[in-house]
């Protein structure tokens, strides 16, 4: 029997690289998911090529999306969400309308076809739940009023992904069928009724309660809820991600919430790592280099546009300026569900394979640069209060501490190198 399986060896190397990259990003006070994406880039077709077939991890990556929404649903505090639902819904609708509307206005000047404009507008409207939550957690702002408002907007965006996917799928038949429209309306109505019902009571799940007494069965019970509700949603011709989210919401408002969440999170973390690793595998550096100007221009446009759109929508929702600014900047990246929207657009032939690569490249770069953008804009907001005008002084105030640290490190390295050469003495060098 042949015990040598190179695929398993490569899988072990990939897992180790993902952990190391995630740990490095955490050490640098960045979200670990950025490290997972970088690991996929380094080990994928654009790097060492250890993973050349993305289909091998695609199924696990889809499970990661389901677990992400399931865990988000479990963590959702409905009472707190209902406190900010008006702001969340208004901001989300404004983001979607503003993104799609702007893309349609720009498509003639930029040479986009209708399909690319619609897909890109939908993709840009969605922010990254995973990145924003990690950034707010690391800064201790997740439980603040700004954090709760931001989380409410993220939840509303995640729920809006299902209707957007249905609308994109309707382009295949060139018309939004009554059945598709009915599915969208009924899914939203059911979610509203479920939130209202769960806000009035805390439920007890007898079978789940019995299974939770055994640690192994408790983990399997969480997985059964996640994938079971996703399967039911798929059978009803709705998004499986929508069903997983509903299953998480129900468990999150049950008496078994804390125990089941504790059991589900480790598996969710593994699958989420695979999902972001697969995103890194999608990145094509040859395509980016060949279209560098287009990619960077679109990235800058998207970042600045989303920041301005978010802040404007939050100000219209009567949020104070500091809260609107912080939340708007935090939501300025393109989210993980944008990949699903791009895949949907590609499946119904709204966009080509090359245009899909463009959406993926901009989305990945947006995710990677998101923590740096938030860090920069926070400091700029503080610096603006002291009326700093010259550009050089502004840059010095923004990155002066980091620049001084880098100079000190470079000086120490040079001194160490000089001492080594000096101590070696004459005639001992090469």
**pLDDT tens-digit map of 319-342:** 888 888 888 888 888 887 888 888
- Rounded to whole angstroms, the Cα distance separating 36 from 18 reads 5
Mapped onto helix, strand or coil, the DSSP state of residue 72 is helix
Task: Specify if 97 maps to a domain.
Answer: yes
Task: Specify if 401 maps to a domain.
Answer: no
Task: Tell me: pLDDT of 383 over 60.
Answer: no
Task: Tell me: pLDDT of 238 over 80.
Answer: no
Task: Specify if 48 maps to a domain.
Answer: no
pLDDT on residue 356: 84
Task: Tell me: pLDDT of 281 over 50.
Answer: yes
pLDDT single digits (tens) 349-358: 888 888 888 8
Task: Specify if 5 maps to a domain.
Answer: no
Task: Specify if 15 maps to a domain.
Answer: no
Helix (H) or strand (E) holding 239: none
Residue 141 sits in a domain whose CATH number is 1.20.1530.20
Task: Specify if 303 maps to a domain.
Answer: yes
Residue ranges making up the domain that contains 284? 60-384
How deeply is 170 buried, as exposed, middle or buried, from its count of CB atoms within 10 A (0-12, 13-18, 19+)?
middle
Task: Specify if 324 maps to a domain.
Answer: yes
- Count of the separate structural domains present in the chain: 1
Q: Look at 273 and 119; give whichever has higher pLDDT.
A: 119
Task: Tell me: pLDDT of 254 over 50.
Answer: yes
pLDDT on residue 428: 38
Task: Specify if 286 maps to a domain.
Answer: yes
* Cα–Cα separations (whole angstroms), residue 28 to 21, 22, 376, 379: 11, 10, 15, 18
């Amino acid at each position: 029997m042949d015990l040598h399986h190179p695929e398993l060896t490569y899988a072990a190397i990939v897992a180790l690289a993902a952990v190391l990259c995630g740990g490095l990003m955490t050490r640098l006070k960045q979200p670990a998911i950025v490290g997972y994406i970088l690991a996929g880039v380094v080990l994928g077709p654009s790097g060492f090529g250890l993973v050349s077939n993305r289909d091998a991890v695609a199924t696990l990556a889809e499970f990661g999306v389901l677990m992400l929404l399931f865990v988000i649903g479990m963590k959702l505090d409905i009472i707190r969400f209902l406190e900010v639902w008006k702001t969340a819904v208004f901001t989300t609708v404004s983001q979607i309308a503003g993104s799609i509307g702007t893309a349609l206005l720009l498509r003639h000047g930029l040479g986009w076809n209708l399909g690319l404009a619609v897909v890109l507008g939908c993709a840009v409207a969605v922010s990254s739940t995973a990145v924003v939550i990690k950034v707010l957690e690391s800064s201790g702002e997740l439980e603040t009023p700004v954090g709760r408002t931001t989380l409410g907007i993220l939840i509303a965006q995640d729920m809006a992904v299902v209707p957007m996917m249905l609308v994109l799928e309707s382009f295949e038949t060139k018309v939004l069928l009554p059945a598709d429209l009915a599915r969208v309306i009924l899914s939203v109505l059911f979610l509203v009724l479920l939130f209202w019902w769960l806000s009035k009571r805390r439920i007890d799940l007898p079978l789940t309660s019995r299974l939770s007494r055994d640690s192994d069965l408790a983990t399997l019970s969480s997985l059964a809820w996640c994938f079971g509700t996703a399967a039911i949603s798929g059978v009803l011709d709705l998004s499986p991600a929508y069903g997983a989210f509903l299953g998480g919401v129900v468990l999150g408002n049950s008496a078994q919430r804390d125990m089941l969440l504790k059991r589900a999170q480790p598996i969710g973390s593994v699958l989420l790592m695979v999902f972001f690793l697969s995103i890194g595998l999608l990145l094509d550096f040859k395509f980016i280099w060949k279209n560098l100007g287009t990619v960077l221009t679109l990235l800058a446009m998207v970042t600045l546009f989303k920041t301005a759109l978010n802040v404007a929508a939050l100000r219209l929702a009567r949020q104070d300026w500091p809260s609107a600014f912080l939340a708007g900047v935090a939501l300025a990246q393109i989210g993980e569900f944008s990949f699903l929207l791009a895949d949907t657009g590609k499946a119904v032939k709204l966009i080509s394979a090359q245009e899909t690569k463009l959406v993926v490249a901009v989305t990945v770069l947006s995710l990677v640069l998101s923590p740096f953008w938030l860090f920069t804009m926070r400091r700029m907001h503080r610096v603006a209060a002291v009326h700093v005008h010259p550009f050089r002084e502004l840059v010095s105030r923004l990155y002066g501490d980091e620049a001084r640290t880098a100079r000190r490190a470079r000086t120490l390295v040079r001194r160490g190198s000089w001492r080594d050469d000096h101590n070696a003495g004459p005639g001992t060098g090469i």
